[in-house]
Amino acid sequence: MIGNLNRIRTLLATKKSLRTLVNRQSHVVSYRSAPPPHSKATRIGAVVVGGAMWWWVIWHLWHEPDHITGEFEYPDPAKWTNTELGIPRDDK
């Protein structure tokens, strides 16, 4: 326990070590502040990709509705027999 406290104190006392821990240059950090706005190309690209995705979805829903509604007509359950429904015979 005391060894860990000494290590923490040494780490905090050394400015160079603390700077290397906090200074990250791999991406934009926006802690407690607004992130920088996206570029115009990024916004236009997002709209184009989103539009293409919705076009693809609506096109396929319009031209191939069987993916949603099913390929065959739904059977009428009123026409099923007790055996098909798994109801045992009533032998009384």
- Is residue 53 assigned to a domain? yes
Residue 67 within a domain: yes
Asked if the structure places residue 32 within a domain, the reply is no
User: Residue 77: inside a domain, yes or no?
Assistant: yes
Residue 90 neighbours by CB distance under 10 Å: 6
> Is residue 1 a part of any domain in this protein?
no
Instruction: Output the pTM of the full model.
Output: 0.46
Which residues span the domain enclosing 78?
Answer: 38-87
Q: Does 23 map to a domain?
A: no
In this prediction, residue 53 carries a pLDDT of 98
Please give the average pLDDT of every successive group of 10 residues along the chain, which has 92 residues: 75 59 64 86 98 96 87 85 87 73
pLDDT of residue 50: 98
Q: What's the structural domain count of the chain?
A: 1
Confidence at residue 18, expressed as pLDDT on a 0 to 100 scale: 47
| C-alpha distances out from residue 29 to 17, 34, 36, 76, 78, Å | 20, 10, 10, 60, 63
**Structural domain contains residue 33:** no
Give the tokens for residue 52.
């293409």
